[in-house]
A and B are shown apart, each in its own frame.
Chain A
Amino acid sequence: MPATQSLVTIKGRKDGLVLVMNEACAYRDLLIELKEKLAASTNLNKNGPVISVKIEMGNRYIDADQRDQLKQIIHSYDHLKVEEIHSNVLTYAELDKIKEQEKMVTMVRIVRSGQVLSVQGNLLLIGDVNPGGVISASGNIYVLGSLRGVASAGQGEDRKDAVIVASIMAPTQLKIGVTMSRNERNTAEVLTERHMFECAYLDEHIGKIVIDRIQTTMKKGNLPFTLNKM
């Protein structure tokens, strides 16, 4: 590799900067050049609107410490914000974690009062959640039965895009990520109501959990990301 070729290429885009990093050189050299390049671009020191930065690492593996290090260098400029650090390389451990997040755990049981069912990934529960019962998942929750207890989706990493779907939706409390909502109706009323096939998702515009018929949600066209994917 000729020494004259730059290791860090800064590209300007409509939505911010893209830093393309050479994937074959030493990591240390990369950092040195990154610092030089940033220092050299004088207009970065000026005050202005916040510019988002995407770092493209190519086929280089970078661990969490290195990610922090890169962020630190870039965040030393006040109006630069790292949006994403993208690398084509994953460790097996990271892959396992992603697989864990995306797997579907199927359970056939009744979650009764006082029982807690907690899973990694998406939960498909065939059976009921009775009042006083708790289910929780790091991904989405689907209940083929009545949901009368507490359901928490997107737990662990505050996944705002998680959804909760139930054949009969009459929960006492719902939680998506860190946002909670509770049922205002009294317990006796809830028992007799029949809310069929409803979906709860976090409406980011109002920051609240919304429960709606799945058909209505589809019509509005604001289906949460997770359901859109399917």
Chain B
Amino acid sequence: MGEAIVVTSGKGGVGKTTTSANVGTVLALQGKKVCLVDTDIGLRNLDVVMGLENRIIYDLVDVAQGRCKLNQALVKDKRFECLSLLPAAQTTDKDSIQPDQMKKIIDTLKADFDYIIIDCPAGIERGFKNAVAGADHAIVVTTPEISSVRDADRIIGLLEQEKQVSPPRLIINRIRQHLLKSGEMLEIDEIMNILAIDLIGIVIDDDGVISSSNKGEPIALNPSSKAAMAYRNIGRRILGETVPLMDLDEKQGFFHRVKALLGMR
């Protein structure tokens, strides 16, 4: 029996879809059977980020309304045998599916997969309720901005009311080191003070995330980037390993230290 993890944030544009794609990918890299479920009906993106858009034949709404079998709608990833995607419909909206239908679909998937990653749409309305209905665990994504922390707080409050979901865990996304250092960005400690939930990972803002999602290849596949390492760490923590948080300070090279000594920086 697998675990269903919903990735949510309240606010839009903080990186739910990117996080879902990458967390799914790293779990698949570890050899787990993973199914990504896009619940953002009408504004589907996860298929694009995964580079699987042109393989979609049926979608979530087709399954819910009985136009196809669940297996027919699953899109196999081109890189991993063990990674599948259940895409959202693009032509209808969020009201075309009910939370209990969603729960039934997730429960069926749990029999076949180790992990089901549910990508939640922004907002707290029907789309959110659909996404949370079948989830056992929740990951809340936030960025170090007041508005996004505020929305994360609201979402955590709503998740705490969902009895079947275990206490949510937090990913702080899009951390910019130079803003953090100059004190212009909310510090991680401050965010943790307000939200008061377990931290499961921090991800540094990386230009590579944008280019790789344009290419349809999750950045986690490219181990040289810091964001990829962050996602891999998150994956290991989901699997129950204890991994220390990434050191945010960039290691300064010999040349930098000489420069600093000479007072050039």
**Given contacts A131-B194, A148-B194, is CB(A113)–CB(B146) below 8 Å?**
no
Partner of B156, one of A112, A148, A187, A188: A112
**Scoring A residues 169 to 193 as 1 if CB is less than 8 Å from chain B, else 0, what string do you get?**
0000000000000000001100110
Of B63-71, B147-155, B173-181, B231-239, the stretch lying at the interface with chain A is: B147-155
Shortest distance between the CB of B130 and any CB in chain A (Å): 19
Contact A191 B157 (CB under 8 A): no
Contact residues in B for A187 (Cβ distance below 8 Å): 146
Interface size of A in residues (CB-CB distance below 8 Å): 16
Contact A188 B154 (CB under 8 A): no
Q: Is B122 an interface residue (CB 8 A)?
A: no
Residues of A119-160 at the interface with B, using a CB-CB cut-off of 8 Å, are: 128, 130-133, 146, 148
Shortest distance between the CB of B150 and any CB in chain A (Å): 5
Contact residues in B for A146 (Cβ distance below 8 Å): 193
Contact B186 A113 (CB under 8 A): no
Contact residues in A for B160 (Cβ distance below 8 Å): 112
Complex CA distance for A131 and B157, rounded to whole angstroms: 12
**Scoring B residues 56 to 96 as 1 if CB is less than 8 Å from chain A, else 0, what string do you get?**
00000000000000000000000000000000000000000
Partner of B153, one of A131, A188, A191: A131
Partner of A192, one of B153, B157, B158, B190: B190
Shortest distance between the CB of B54 and any CB in chain A (Å): 40
Determine the main DSSP class of B at the interface with A.
helix
Q: Is B246 an interface residue (CB 8 A)?
A: no
Contact B154 A112 (CB under 8 A): yes
Contact A114 B154 (CB under 8 A): yes
Complex CA distance for A110 and B160, rounded to whole angstroms: 11
Contact B190 A113 (CB under 8 A): no
Contact A188 B146 (CB under 8 A): yes
Contact B194 A132 (CB under 8 A): no
Q: Is A115 an interface residue (CB 8 A)?
A: yes
Residues of B176-231 at the interface with A, using a CB-CB cut-off of 8 Å, are: 186, 190, 193-196
Nearest A residue to B149, CB-CB? A131
Contact A128 B196 (CB under 8 A): yes
Nearest B residue to A149, CB-CB? B153
Shortest distance between the CB of A128 and any CB in chain B (Å): 7
Nearest A residue to B183, CB-CB? A192
**Scoring A residues 82 to 126 as 1 if CB is less than 8 Å from chain B, else 0, what string do you get?**
000000000000000000000000000010111100000000000
Contact B196 A132 (CB under 8 A): no
Nearest A residue to B197, CB-CB? A110
Instruction: Known pairs A131-B153, A192-B190; list 9 more (Cβ under 8 Å).
Output: A112-B156, A113-B150, A114-B153, A114-B158, A131-B150, A132-B150, A132-B154, A187-B146, A188-B146
Please name 15 pairs of A and B residues whose Cβ atoms are closer than 8 Å in the assembled complex, sorted by A: A110-B196, A112-B154, A112-B160, A113-B154, A114-B154, A114-B158, A115-B157, A130-B194, A131-B146, A131-B150, A131-B194, A132-B153, A187-B146, A191-B146, A191-B190
